[in-house]
Amino acid sequence: MASKLHFFLLLTVSCASLHLSMAGDPDILTDFIPPPGFFGAPSGNYFTFTGMRALVGAPFPTTFKVLKATMIEFPALNGQSVSYSVLQFPNGTVNPPHTHPRASELLFVLMGSLQVGFVDTTNKLFTQTLQEGDIFVFPKGLVHFQFNADAKNPALALSAFGSANPGTVKVPSAVFNSTIDDQVLALSFKTDVATIQKLKSGLSG
């Protein structure tokens, strides 16, 4: 009986380990995934993303802006387990706390400086002030943020993700712009319904 139990536990642990090792974008059995309904070999145009040309020669935005190249904007990334975003931070702007449920993020500061941080599953905060040329990693699925604390100068960063579709869950919107009952939120944040409704109205614009 003990040997059977030991075997069962070993099998369970092995299956769990296999599941974890396979987590992330599914592997593909071809070199790439062609466009839906397409037969034959696509041209080089399919593997080229021109959306970032909008950055060339353009004035810097006045509010925080993200330009994405995920499989949604760039279908050739489907099955390739990689994507990019360009983040533009005018002075004093923030990329609010958010998560990427399907990927870790590698952020490279191209211009200016950024205050960044993430919170782990024990509620420990890890922060750093990044300078031009620095790289910082945000572990997969953890809440994180970026803030340009410079009152005069903008910042520019490039983020690489370990998924073709990392997803983004913005914490303020997910909590206060959802249909979660006001009473549930009031109890969860140890406040009253009026305060919750005020927070919601401030995020609805």
Q: Is 98 known as a binding-site position? A: yes
Q: Cα dihedral angle (35, 84, 172, 179), rounded to 10 degrees?
A: 10
The pLDDT, as a whole number, for residue 203 is: 79
Evaluate whether 175 touches 114 at the Cβ level (below 8 Å).
Answer: no
Q: Is 95 known as a binding-site position? A: yes
Q: Where are the alpha helices (DSSP H) in the chain?
A: 2-21, 171-176, 182-188, 193-203
Q: What is the domain partition of the chain in residue ranges?
A: 46-167, 168-204
Residue 170: name the closest of 120, 111, 95 by CA. Answer: 95
The pLDDT, as a whole number, for residue 131 is: 98
Q: Is 132 known as a binding-site position? A: no
The pLDDT, as a whole number, for residue 205 is: 57
The CATH architecture assigned to 46-167 reads Sandwich (2.60)
Residue with tokens 């006045």: 62
Residues 6+ apart with CB under 8 A from 158: 84, 85, 86, 87, 107, 108, 110
The pLDDT, as a whole number, for residue 10 is: 41
Mean pLDDT by 10 residues, the chain (205 residues): 44 40 74 85 94 96 97 96 98 97 97 98 98 98 97 97 96 89 92 90 75
Q: Is 153 known as a binding-site position? A: no
Q: Is 144 known as a binding-site position? A: yes
